[in-house]
Chain A
Amino acid sequence: MINVIYYIILYILKEDYNMKNKKLISRLLVAAMTAGTIAGYGNTGSIVAGAASEEGVTTTSIGTYTVDDPYHLVFEYCEVSDTDADARAAVEAAVNEYMIPNYQIEVEFLPMSIADYYANTPLMLSSGEELDVLPIMFSTASSWLSMGGILDLAPYMDSEEGQKIIEALGDEETAYAATCNGVLFGFPANKEFYSNRGFLLRADICDELGFTEKYNLDRPDADIYDGTGISWEDEEAMLVAVKEAYPDMTAFYLSTTAKADLLFDLLDDGFGVLDMVADREGTTVVNMYETEQYREHVKRMADWYDKGYIYKDAATGSTRADEMMRAGNTFSYPTNIVPGALIGTNISNGCKCYLVHREPEKKGFITTSDVSFMNAGIATQSKDPEMAFKFISALYSDPTLFNLWQFGIEGVHYQLLEDGTAYYVEGENASNYKYHQNSGWQMGDQFKGLVWNDGTAGPDYWDALKEHNQKGDRSPVYGFRWDSTEYSTELTALNAIKEQYIYQLETGTCGSDNVDDLLEEFNEALYNVGLQDIMDAKQAQIDAWLAAK
């Protein structure tokens, strides 16, 4: 607690310091910030059709940029792989060699570790530090918007650049998925948009006990949904046989981090959801913990726990499922399946595994929050948001830029393999590379970029993901985002209660005898702190959203 306050005081001191020095620092900065603010608020209505571009010259409503006098753009992104600073500078130079003649934009990289990204970005947004394009997590968008830190991008959409983004993401719903309180704050990165529910099973035991043949498990493309799967009952039949053959083995591993996902549109926080099993097309907000789907699931888990299939410390354990599998005494666990998952799971589980889709929920579906986890947006202080928008558009339409940023310079930082995929150059690998990001999940259109061939993905990887995205059903309220700003007290209390009950229920540790009482107690507690208000508010917002559509 004290730390929070202390941190804020430091921030004020910093602010004061800035205030005093503002007069002393060049007027340019003030002018630049003012320009940014005006661009953010005043001019948005009058933007005509994006930035006009002639050969080597770009004109926007704010300024004219040439090859000799390009727009200086600060590009913040999360850097998850450590990168050599000299190599990064070389890549930055290569990016500018390309961007200045073609876009009249001079890019300045601003890489952040994930922790720095969380901690520093709000401060940067509030202090007016130079910043144009940045990744925005859906979960922080609402607070960044309310503090006026990020721009509404809708005014820029009616342009060639906007069209390119919609084209890259496939359709308008997806392009507009990162909308919060009616404001379009960013564009989702193009990636796999959902995962299928399924099970992971240990191959040697499946082979030995005859499951492999019975359920046709041994398929190299089992991670791509082909319409087949097994039911909860099939899984139970396997667990019975495994328990009999290996009494000491954990037949079904569950923990606080490994739980079976059910088929709900959680509407961001899980308090008030759409039940996709009860009604695939329904738009009625219900309490997830009262649905038949949830009740049936927790009762099944409790039954399995009593019968000894489930890991005994499931409600308190946090060991990852693949680590348990690696330790060698586990038969199966629930998992989510995306194309390409099979090779990855074999590696992380340390043994040959089978993936199998789960019925009847085998076919996954796409919710707004799945799609817009991380998005490319523009900071309010951007001196020329039209140029920033041009840059974002390039991330979604220009593979040259995207590949340079993601993988570096061809022949120096990566090589093109014969099948068109990319890999480290000779002599470099995952531990001694100089430049490598492979983090296209945060911004841009990965599908236009190169496939990184580290053994888990082949040349047709993007095609497989695209096809996967086509197959998934969309939630009936796909594109809807709820505005929870008025309900933070209720949500805080609801979260505190949720923590108390869900692990006991969803891992079955409460036991069959208690499950009904516990579920009832849980729901009562939720309603006592205002679940109904949240559900009503969500319903009203959904109805309004549907009507506006």
Chain B
Amino acid sequence: MKTKGKLRLKRYLPLYFLFLPGGLYLLINNYIPLGGLVIAFKQYNVRDGLWGSPFVGLKNFKFLFATGDALLITRNTILYNVVFITLNTVIGIVFAIFICDAVSNRLKKVYQSVILFPYLMSAVILGYIVYAFLGTENGIVNNTILPLLGKEPIMWYQEAGYWPFILTFANMWKGTGYGCLLYISAINGIDTSLFEAAALDGASRWQRIKAITLPSLVPTIITTTLMHIGRIFYSDFGLFYQVPRNSGALFRTTNVIDTYVYRGLMEQSNVGMSAAAGFYQSIIGFLLVVLANYVVRKISEENALF
């Protein structure tokens, strides 16, 4: 047994070496900071340091639930993420298939770059683009489009009802290009002989997509979805803070955990409470990943992450 183990180690040694830099990176960047989670339970002060600061139990978590908005912000965070995950996956796949089917290789690159471009913009710029459309004083929609249609101007930044749609659209506009990258590479990885054989047998384009492309994408879809579920308690802070321009009247539909924490702690730098919020988000995210993975394993074991 022992010699066998040694032999295996020897054989895989080069691979372990290859793994070393990445492993170190993970260790330093992702594992060592786990120890910092203890701050969430402490009244942190710099002089006593991380371990010396007094324990305060769950006191740091209290503010998350103090306003009675906890339910609202949790609901917003989860619903937005569910919608984003679903739409981004569907639209990402659709675009990926379109782009991969483009005949000209040069055009393929152009399309890909064009839809990727919004992703490279910061949320602040996205916020101003939306503002240029929806602003009351100078916005295109209120000053040009609605009058043309003979409709009254709408005070977009005062009406919470529109924002689930606006934010979803803005997020799609920004994220589609990046979201479909992974699927494009997955589609390119499918053995082309399958498509050729199907085409020879007279399968239509739609049949080829249904029978070859989509089933081949299932592992990729499951992996990315699981990863997104792990971050379901996080939200794109820029999107939810910059795009609605921090308008109080919209909080009902735009306030998510990250913006709530930011607004509360902006004026007092309380490390303990910030850590508590992060702790809450990651623990729930972790549990959801385990749960989702369990479900996947029940349905189709070979596609589960672990």
Contact = CB atoms under 8 A, between A and B. Distances in A.
Interface of A: 1-2, 4-6, 8-9, 11-12, 15, 122-123, 125-126, 140, 143, 146-149, 250, 256, 269, 311-313, 315-318, 488-493, 495-497, 499-504, 509-510, 525, 528-530
A312 B136 CA distance: 6
Contacts of A500: 248, 251, 255
A495 B36 contact: no
Interface of B: 29, 32-33, 35-37, 39, 45-50, 59, 62-63, 66-69, 131, 135-138, 155, 157-158, 244-249, 251, 255, 260, 263-271, 273-275, 277-278, 281-282
A489 B36 contact: no
A504 B275 contact: no
Given A9-B33, A9-B36, A312-B136, A493 B278 contact: no
A495 B248 contact: no
A6 B36 contact: yes
A1 B45 CA distance: 17
Contacts of A140: 269
Contact of A492 (B39, B244, B270): B270
A496 B46 contact: no
B70 to A, nearest CB: 10
Contacts of A493: 63, 66-67, 264
Contacts of A312: 135-137
Which 7 A-B pairs give the minimum distances between C-beta atoms?
Answer: A1-B278, A147-B47, A5-B36, A316-B245, A312-B136, A493-B66, A492-B264
Contacts of A311: 137
B33 A496 contact: no
A312 to B, nearest CB: 4
B275 A315 contact: no
Contacts of A501: 248
Contact of B249 (A122, A315, A490): A315
B49 A126 contact: yes
A254 B180 CA distance: 43
A68 to B, nearest CB: 36
B49 A15 contact: yes
Contacts of B131: 313, 316
Contact of A6 (B33, B45, B47, B267): B33
Given A5-B37, A125-B47, A313-B136, 8 more contacts: A4-B36, A11-B50, A488-B268, A495-B263, A496-B264, A500-B248, A504-B249, A529-B68
Contacts of A126: 46-47, 49
A15 B33 CA distance: 15
Contact of B50 (A8, A256, A491, A504): A8
12 contacts: A1-B278, A4-B274, A9-B36, A312-B135, A313-B136, A313-B138, A316-B244, A489-B59, A491-B268, A504-B158, A509-B249, A510-B249
A147 B46 contact: yes
Contacts of A490: 66
Contacts of B29: 6
Nearest to A140: B269
Q: Which of B39, B67, B246 has the most CB of A within 10 A?
A: B67
Contact of A488 (B50, B249, B263, B270): B270
A147 B275 contact: no
B46 A495 contact: no
A5 to B, nearest CB: 4
A492 B63 contact: yes
Nearest to B255: A500
Contact of B135 (A147, A313, A528): A313
Contacts of A499: 246, 248, 263
Contact of B39 (A5, A143, A149, A316): A5
